[in-house]
Structure 1
Amino acid sequence: MEDNSIEKKYNKFIIAVSIIIPVVVAILFGVKLKDFGYNVEPLSMLPPVYATINGITAVVLIAAVMAIKNGKRLLHERLMTFAIALSVAFLVMYVAYHMTADSTKFGDLNHDGILDAVESAKVGSLRLVYFVILITHILLSIAIIPLVLISYVRALGQQFDRHKKIAKITFPIWLYVAVTGVVVFLMISPYYAN
């Protein structure tokens, strides 16, 4: 029978983090620093930075899988740790941006915060495509948190058979989240107010 003690040791932490992160992000997403009297300029330089971080994360994830398939365990471990660090950096920047800027409406060409009939007609069904990608990106970004943590803990505990089983689920979901993060940015960026 396999020793699951390291996983059991971290189970409460994994559950707590998997709940706390989405809840805190949801709360902070609704907090605007200007509402508390802070005269803070929107951090408009962050979306392209965190979109780039998503792109780099996707490349790092692919490189990490290639490394382990080529028997380079230490390189794989370092790349996966780097991918986690990139995801944390993304999250911090994403929250910081949304605490300083109003939400952008897809299709709002004149940047007035209102999607009128003319603007809506111009984007047409592309708006639906955008929301499908955005919603799946958000839902899977929540689901990926425990999967990454469990995968990482199993690797730390050298439970490589169990790590490999969950990593086969974790990898495509994390890759999807990273890639769609870039796609969402590219689709919404024309509507950012400068």
Structure 2
Amino acid sequence: MDSIALKEKKFNKIINAVSIVIPVVVALLFGVKLPNVEPLSFLPPIYASINGLTAILLVGAVLAAKKGKLVWHQNIMTACIALSLAFLVMYVAYHMTSESTSYGGEGIVRYVYFFILISHILLSIVIIPLVLRTYAKAYLKNFEAHRKLAKITFPLWLYVAITGVVVYLMISPYYAH
């Protein structure tokens, strides 16, 4: 096995671990409510905006790559990962300090909301290893494999980012003020 294959194998072990640990920790922390802590009710519009910015940057990153601006592409993708991490921290912090908000819409809109929410949550779990593997392939300079995987990763990540904003917009009228 050559050194690149060994490095990729090592990365994949780390990626597999991170891809399991993040959803498990988030699920566990969802059950934790910090006592005597002021609710961080100001966070949802911030982390929804982070999702929106991530969506815009993802499109910008693809355009940069198509124009051959690979350093820009790399920097934008790194920013997208950092934004996703910031989103995750804020999302968990909000839910550890605030009660969950129930969606109050009725009729078909309620079904649309739950379809978007459930697909968003499931794909946000799926996207973790996809993003990390796509990034690792570029880091290891396996650009052919990177491009091939990015064709799957990009639309899913874009969907997660956009639906994060949509979910926020749909539930925001029901937040306790």
Identify the match of residue 99 of structure 1 among 96, 100, 108.
Answer: 96
Displacement after TM superposition at 1:134 (Å): 0.2
Figure out how many residues of one structure are paired with residues of the other and give that number.
Answer: 176
For 2:81, the equivalent position in structure 1 comes to 84
Correspondences of 1:1-194 after superposition (within 5 Å): 3-34=4-35, 39-107=36-104, 123-194=106-177
Distance 1:61 1:106 in 2: 29
Displacement after TM superposition at 1:55 (Å): 0.1
Uncovered stretches (5+) of structure 2, i.e. residues with no partner: none
| Contact 1:6-1:153 within 8 A present in 2 as well | no
TM-score normalised over the length of structure 2? 0.97
TM-score normalised over the length of structure 1? 0.88
Uncovered stretches (5+) of structure 1, i.e. residues with no partner: 108-121
CA deviation map 1:46-86 (0-9, x unaligned): 00000000000000100000000000000000000000000
Distance 1:65 1:134 in 2: 26
| Contact 1:43-1:96 within 8 A present in 2 as well | yes
For 1:112, the equivalent position in structure 2 comes to none
Task: Give the fraction of aligned pairs with identical amino acids, expressed as a percent.
Answer: 66
For 1:118, the equivalent position in structure 2 comes to none
Displacement after TM superposition at 1:11 (Å): 1.2
Distance 1:29 1:179 in 2: 23
Displacement after TM superposition at 1:40 (Å): 1.2
- The AA in structure 2 aligned to 1:193 is A
Distance 1:52 1:7 in 2: 34
Equivalent position SS for 1:158: coil
Answer with 1 or 2: which has the greater Rg: 1
| Contact 1:54-1:90 within 8 A present in 2 as well | yes
